[in-house]
Amino acid sequence: MSTTTVRVPPGERAIDDHAVPGVSDGDGDGGVWRVRVAIVGTGFSGLGMAIRLQQAGIEDYVVLERADDVGGTWRDNTYPGAACDVPSHLYSFSFAPNPNWTRTFSRQAEIETYLRECAERHRVSSHVLYGHEVTDARWVEDERRWHVSTSRGRVVAEVLVAGMGPLTEPSIPPLPGLDRFQGTVFHSARWDHQHDLAGERVAVIGTGASAIQLVPQIQPLVGELQLYQRTAPWIVPRSDRPITAAERLLYRHLPLAQRAVRSGIYWWLELRALGMTRHPRLMKVAELAAKLHLRRQVADPELRAKLTPSYTIGCKRVLISNDYHPALTRENANVITESIDEVRDHSIVTADGIEHEVDTIIFGTGFHVTDAPYAKLVRGADGRTLEETWNGSMEAYLGTTVAGFPNLFIMIGPNTGLGHTSMTIMIEAHLEYVLDALRTMDEAGLATVDVRPEVQASYNDEVQSAMRHTVWNRGGCASWYVDANGRNSTLWPSFTFRFRERTRRFRLEDYSVRSRVAAPAAD
């Protein structure tokens, strides 16, 4: 990897990444990276931030990546059938369009390639420090800097951008006896490609977005597929098709055409927010479509009853698939709705007392979202971590700044998730907000910005008030949207254009600020 050029105060020095493992916890002479902005993660959020900094002429930054390549969740999730459930033209940066998408809904490998090409094309790769897993990040008040410790060294930064994303750390339920299982166990996000499933008795636990993609892929291979379903998901048809060579040629030579397609997709999907956030009764139309889809694909009334949800569509994530239900009608597939009592050496025992012989267990049980692991690592001005500050319920102003954590910007943080459209819209809104914050700090000569507690509290009261009218709070389901305190701290309860309006300008009046210390005058 090439050396990153960074701005270094007099008397301090930057170092090449190859020297990082030998860095001490001392000052600049020990080889500490000192930058204006430290970004954590190279998924859409982290790479997007780096690209927008480059485009704004700001090159004084590093990106900390624990893996050996960029891509975030699209690098890590390589399970069979992994693909996006948002149309390709909208699941990409508006400032880095991709005219070469081959399908209307992109597969994992193509999205990973897109992110890698974005990093190269926009010259951010040389700023990435690979193999640097963040182990601690704390605000040092005397220096007015973030001190970030990684597995290979230390970074001191004026501004910290947390771009780890919510779908990062796999969640595995604490099943009794799991530690004594003698077969193979892995999570969908950590797929074991060396393990051959052919002819095996395979248990898939969970029925979320990953499970419904991988189940149809492995069902023809395995001897027996056991799907352990706690709650049936609502599934609507997947309108996926190849994008023709003529279309790709048009997009390459007439970018305006692709922008028009993107805009049309955006506004079509934005309409779905009406049912989810304003008028849950409108979801009956989508519910009818999902029931017809299920009826066409599953003839057996007993199996169809198992696969029919009992809550309002949209209350949990709505999934799209054309092959999930048909896979469950095959002779080697068994949908098990009884809860799991325990795992034994070579089996799973359900609440009805039946023991199911199993060779491999695959968890499709999602991620730590409301209990984001990064919250344990980030310490603010009073020494408390984000986890301690949040006390079970994430909260931020505009989903990005947290009172008591100066110069920290969380990408797609609390209450920025979506149930109806692409997360890239929210990511880009945050990117522009952070850029405007940096510009504002420069123009006003500010060293720190820290959101006022009363501003944060008022904003979150507003969000939670709006949440009461949404399908997520009134749809009769339990979901990962809701935290341990019973609060929906993950989703945005309105249209995305409303959020973009709120983040269009960094309002200095919402923040407590401190000016930079002027250098002493020369004699």
Q: Can you list the domains of the chain with their CATH numbers?
A: 17-168+368-515 (3.50.50.60), 178-241+250-363 (3.50.50.60)
Q: Residue 118's pLDDT is what?
A: 97
In the block, tokens 């006022």 appear at 452
Q: What is the pLDDT of residue 519?
A: 40
Give the 3-state secondary structure of residue 219: coil
> Do the bridges between strand 224-228 and strand 333-336 make them parallel or antiparallel, or are there none, so unpaired?
parallel
Instruction: For residue 418, give the amino acid letter.
Output: L
The contacts of residue 480 (CB under 8 Å, 6+ apart) are 366, 367, 369, 370, 490
Measured torsion, CA atoms of residues 293, 306, 367, 269, in degrees rounded to the nearest 10: 20
**β-strand 347-350 against 33-40: which pairing, if any?**
unpaired
pLDDT of residue 119: 97
In this structure, which long-range contacts are made by residues 134-139, counting pairs with CB atoms below 8 Å and at least 24 apart in sequence?
134/40, 134/64, 134/66, 134/374, 134/377, 135/377, 136/377, 136/379, 137/40, 137/377, 137/378, 137/379, 138/378, 138/379, 138/383, 139/379, 139/380, 139/381, 139/405, 139/406, 139/407, 139/408
The pTM assigned to this predicted structure is: 0.92
pLDDT of residue 22: 29
- Give φ, ψ of 28 to 5 degrees: -55, -30
Radius of gyration, alpha carbons of the chain: 24
Q: How many CB atoms lie within 10 A of CB 173?
A: 12
CA angle 468, 472, 475 (to 5 degrees): 95
Q: What is the pLDDT of residues 328-346, one digit of tens each?
A: 999 999 999 999 999 999 9
Gap between the Cα atoms of 85 and 217, Å rounded: 17
State residue 517's pLDDT score.
72
User: What pLDDT sits at residue 165?
Assistant: 82
As a whole number of angstroms, the distance between CA 425 and CA 94 comes to 9
User: Residues of the chain whose pLDDT is less than 70?
Assistant: 1-31, 518-523
- For residue 244 the two structure tokens come to 């023709």
Per-residue confidence (pLDDT) for residue 25, from 0 to 100: 40
